[in-house]
Chains A and B, each alone.
Chain A
Amino acid sequence: MTDRRSRFESGSIAWFLQRVTAVVLLFTLGFHFLWLHFVNHAAEVTLWGSALRMDRFVYFIMIVVFLVTAAYHGLNGIYNALLNHGLSGRRRTVVFWLLTIAGTVLVIQGIRIAVAMAGVIS
């Protein structure tokens, strides 16, 4: 019904990445909930405690991977939901870039927080 697509506009890559990030999130989100609610209780969180966790390189990397995959998975999920409701044409392009910008801001801010926390211990 429409003209031929190029490989990079393909839905297949986005579909595949949504599944790959899903698998990553099963582990990172699962760990996050276990670690920050069941092992360490949310009500007892202090900046010093968060900083001690973030100071460990493996934890830092994991939290950044968690952040990036969650942002992609969530915002691509929203984008798909809107496409399913018939978003198209110019509005589709605008929404695509709005979500991309929102995701970028989210990831940058998240990394700034992680760096600030890790910087408390020095």
Chain B
Amino acid sequence: MSDSDADRTIRPETSGLNSEDPEEPESDVTESTGETVTLRIFRYDPEVESKQDAGFDTFRIPTHEGMTILDALIEARDEQDPSLTFRHSCRQGVCGSDALFINGSQRLGCKTQVSELKEPIQIEPLPHHPVVKDLVVDMDSFYERMRAVEPYFDPDDPPPDELTERYQSRENREDVKLSTRCIWCGACTSSCTIASNEDVYLGPAAINKGYRFYADEREGEDRAEERLEILQEHDGVWRCQTQFSCTNVCPQDIPLTEHIQQIKRDATKADLRFW
């Protein structure tokens, strides 16, 4: 593409999509209210000369009741600029693909209502990751840290026979319940100042994942001890500064800080125990 800067502000009139006549019934249940929302979207494309200098494009998108940021982005891409790039899959807050930096905070595009935000809504890629193109970031360092905590069920003893189910007590299920909600979207780790340096800190998502198995009694005491070790290596829980950013941004409402603090307390008790 070789748009000039002026061309990069695209207005809905040119798209000719929405009828301005409110009388005319539409088949779509999410009916347009005839209002528009202004989005400022971060653009960067190393393969297109005019977009090698990162900047913002302004889009005006016709809104409807219940419109999410992801809906607006899809509208912008499908009707106005097909080169606009972002990740999304399930569109319902389960896959964790569309964590974005929206008006200064990490949010899932599909769980954020356009009507809740102050305009112009500024949409940027997830901070603390290299930008690949537009809103797409390279999340390798995030996944690597998730893998570092060995995020799989790994019991001390195999079940007595292969077909035995491993039951978990109701109480223990409650302990791990919230931690299992994680969808690996990376919002928390992106929000953490310390985790911005991958060599310094595992980050909240990885620690929460470690906590999920550490707190699971079915794994056994030996494995729990190993998990505590993994979680407090020099880049582990001790780097948490209780900024609460992770807990504030988590789209799944996981009490991340609480889980990290629990690991700190348990590790301290284990290390101070001399009997």
Is there any pair of Cβ atoms, one from A and one from B, under 8 angstroms apart in the complex? yes
Contacts from A to B (Cβ < 8 Å): 1-2, 4-5, 7, 10-16, 83-86, 88
Q: Which B residues have a C-beta under 8 Å from some C-beta of A?
A: 145, 148, 193-194, 197, 199-202, 229, 232-239, 241, 264, 267-268, 270-272
Q: Is A1 a contact of B238 with CB atoms below 8 Å?
A: no
Known: A84-B200, A86-B200, A88-B199. A16 touches B272 (CB 8 A): yes
18 intermolecular pairs with C-beta atoms under 8 Å apart: A1-B148, A2-B233, A5-B234, A7-B271, A12-B264, A12-B268, A12-B271, A13-B268, A13-B271, A13-B272, A15-B238, A16-B268, A83-B234, A84-B194, A84-B239, A85-B197, A88-B199, A88-B200
Chain B residues with CB under 8 Å of A12's CB are: 232, 238, 264, 267-268, 270-272
CA distance A88 to B239 in the complex (A): 13
Q: Is the CB of A15 within 8 A of B239?
A: no
B267 to chain A, nearest CB (A): 5
Q: How far is the CA of A122 from the CA of B199 in the complex (A)?
A: 58
A42 to B271, CA, bound (A): 44
A11 touches B200 (CB 8 A): no
A15–B233 touching, CB < 8 Å: no
Chain A: which residue is nearest B269 at the CB level? Answer: A12
Task: Please state if A83 and B200 are interface contacts (CB–CB under 8 Å).
Answer: yes
| CB contact under 8 A between A11 and B238, given known A1-B233, A83-B200 | yes
Q: What's the Cα separation between A29 and B264 when bound, in Å?
A: 27
The 7 closest A-B pairs by CB, nearest first: A11-B238, A12-B271, A12-B268, A86-B197, A12-B267, A84-B194, A16-B268
How many angstroms between the C-alpha atoms of A88 and B264 in the bound complex? Answer: 21
User: Quick one: given A84-B194, A86-B200, are A11 and B272 in contact (CB under 8 Å)?
Assistant: no
Q: How near does chain B come to A7, taking the closest CB pair, in angstroms? A: 6
Which residues from chain B contact A84 at a C-beta distance below 8 Å? 193-194, 200-201, 239, 241
The distance from the CB of A8 to the nearest CB of chain B, in whole angstroms, is 9
Q: Find chain B residues with CB under 8 A from A4 CB.
A: 229, 233
Task: Give the nearest-CB partner of A9 in chain B.
Answer: B234
| A5 lies within 8 A of B148 (CB) | no
Residue of B with least CB distance to A2: B233
Shortest distance between the CB of B150 and any CB in chain A (Å): 11
Complex Cα gap A90–B232 (Å): 21
- Partner of B268 from the list A1, A5, A15 (CB cut-off 8 Å) is A15
Residues of B within 8 A of A15 (CB): 238, 264, 268
Q: Which A residues are CB-close (under 8 A) to B193?
A: 84
CA–CA, A12 and B239, complex, Å: 11
In angstroms, how far is the closest chain B Cβ from the Cβ of A92?
Answer: 9
Closest residue of B by beta carbon distance from A5 = B233
Given A1-B233, A10-B232, the answer on whether A83 and B239 have CB atoms closer than 8 Å is yes
Chain A residues in 8 Å Cβ range of B194 = 84
